[in-house]
Amino acid sequence: MDDCEKRRTVTTGETFRPQAMVPEMDYAHARLSLVLEGDCPLCGRRTSVELVGFSPGETVPCHHCSASLNPDCDEVKRLGRDLVMASMDRLEDRLGPWPEFTHVRKGTISNFDCHSVLLAYLEDVEVGVEDQNELSLIMHMTAALKPWLLVRFGAVQSAFFGHLTINVEDYLCEREVGVTPSDTFDVFCYDQMVSNLYLKKKWDALLTTSQGATLLSTYLPRESPHASVRFLFNHNGNDAHQTWHRSRIHLTFTDAEHDRARLELERMGIPEDAEYVCMGERSALYRKQVYADDSRMQNFTSRDSDFDQYALAAEALAGRGYYVLRMGALVDRELKNSHPAIIDYAGKHRSEFMDIYLGATCRFFVTPPSGVSSVASICRRPIVFTDYSYLSLLHHWMHNIIFLPPHLYRAKTGKRLCLAEYCLLRRPSFSLEQFGVSCEPNSREEVLQACLEMDDRLSGRWNEAPEDAELQARFKEQLERYACGLKGLNDGWLWAEGASFLASAGTAFLRENPDFLAEPDRNLRPSFVRNRDAGRCVGETVPPKR
């Protein structure tokens, strides 16, 4: 009688704690034997258990004393994780040297289809027969371990700073609060381009990573249970289920990093314990260089910004005793200002470490919709967003956010769009001009008013008038009606149904633009209902004819 006939699906038996897991792979016939080895708890003699085809709760007799052995599930998981990672490390070493991470984009990315980048990444990697055997061993092991431990492979969307930041935090928060499974073993790789290597180092301490996962993440079918963390790579960058305020902040700093940051701040002329406000700039130079190989994105100008738009607010905040730092990855001109507390960090002092530290510790951040503020987001810092056109992508999950939408008009008639029509706009890979819409950015005065409102709220000086509270309530009610329940890229949720809008709009903006909250034309309402009820992706929403 073989082992399979001797097994009994019972939960009784002596707990067997294996000390080793030994794989034996027959590559010619694609068969795996995965053997647990350890001492029998009764007779103390070395025994073994074949794991392939074996499930938790089943028992098997000891080869020596016939005692019923029930393998310890936690030990099987531990040995399984170690075995998979040992094989992943061998694969990574055998395929090395891997193409080096670079800050120069290679190839074209279309609609954030970043698996095309991984495919380009693998063009320079030679996969020989031994490498294919190692891949075969990994896949057979993950299949054999599935009843005990679900091993999954995914990729971090590292080419874009905002997604490298927000997507990982969202993944960690969802696992912490139970929105996604927390007992899986997830192995991640990175894109060819890593937008911030210091942040990668921080995430490496929290994620299980191996560039060997590049092959598995890229080639596994989307439907495979072992590829289910792909969403982290092609994710919308939204806390769709509002998990952040229910979980801890995962990006933290050591005492040594705080000491290093204090030295950097002193070099910029910022004394210890001084408060600073970060102001992000997404220059045209950044767009032209980052999307050098993508002619379509080269013409996508609606997310460009200039620090001049923030000049009045910067001077006012400096006058209140704060230091103001100009942030950004690439700037195309030197900052000229008359106040010594306004510092050109982006042009003169920028480093990858301080990009992270300043965003995580600032009083608040002022920014257009851009990844520059993503560290402030995941560290739950207050943010003033300016020129936020795509309201379906709003940070609805944070209380300490103030939004300023730009002024959008129908290009043919000059009629202003209302809030509901903003929610029809697709994802930001499409320019507003494609919708027959012209854009007027927020004025310097509007930015000033929103920044002073934020500072007053944080200082406890803000008193909201009843009529302003009513405008905020109308703003939130319309957003929840027209944007909640929509999906975005790769069928991922932008805003799960039932989640409330927690942020606010600029009070002065709502007060001075009453037509923004006007109800849409009746012929638009059915399209909203159809999109919401069908859970249709924002990218699939067809804009109304102009």
Token code pair at residue 75: 């030990």
Nearest-angstrom CA–CA distance, 435 and 430: 9
CA-based nearest residue to 74, from 183, 151, 205, 187:
183
* Region label for 113, one of left (φ > 0), alpha (ψ between -120 and 50) or beta (otherwise): beta
pLDDT tens-digit map of 332-361:
677 777 799 999 998 899 999 999 999 999
Average pLDDT over all residues of the chain: 82
Question: Cα separations (Å) of 397 from 163, 410, 457?
Answer: 17, 30, 18
**Residue 97, preceding peptide bond in cis (omega within 30° of 0):** yes
The whole-number pLDDT of residue 11 equals 45
What is the rounded distance in angstroms from the CA atom of residue 139 to the CA atom of residue 131?
Answer: 12
How many residues can be counted in the chain?
546
Q: What gap in Å lies between CA 525 and CA 9, rounded to an integer?
A: 57
Question: Over the stretch 76-91, which tens digit does the pLDDT of each residue have?
Answer: 999 999 999 999 999 8
Residue pair 408/417 in contact by the 8 Å Cβ criterion: yes
Q: In what order do the strands lie in the sheet with 151-156?
A: 151-156, 185-190, 208-209
Amino acid of residue 422: Y
pLDDT band with cut points at 50, 70 and 90 for residue 126: confident
Identify the burial level of 530 via C-beta atoms within 10 angstroms of its C-beta, where 0-12 means exposed, 13-18 middle and 19 or more buried.
exposed
Model confidence pLDDT, tens digit, residues 449-482? 999 999 999 999 999 999 999 999 999 988 888 8
How confident is the model over 90-98, as a mean pLDDT?
A: 77
Residue 536: pLDDT band with limits 50, 70, 90: very low
Higher-confidence position of 118 and 420: 420
| Distance separating alpha carbons of residues 255 and 250, to the nearest angstrom | 16
- pTM score, whole prediction: 0.86
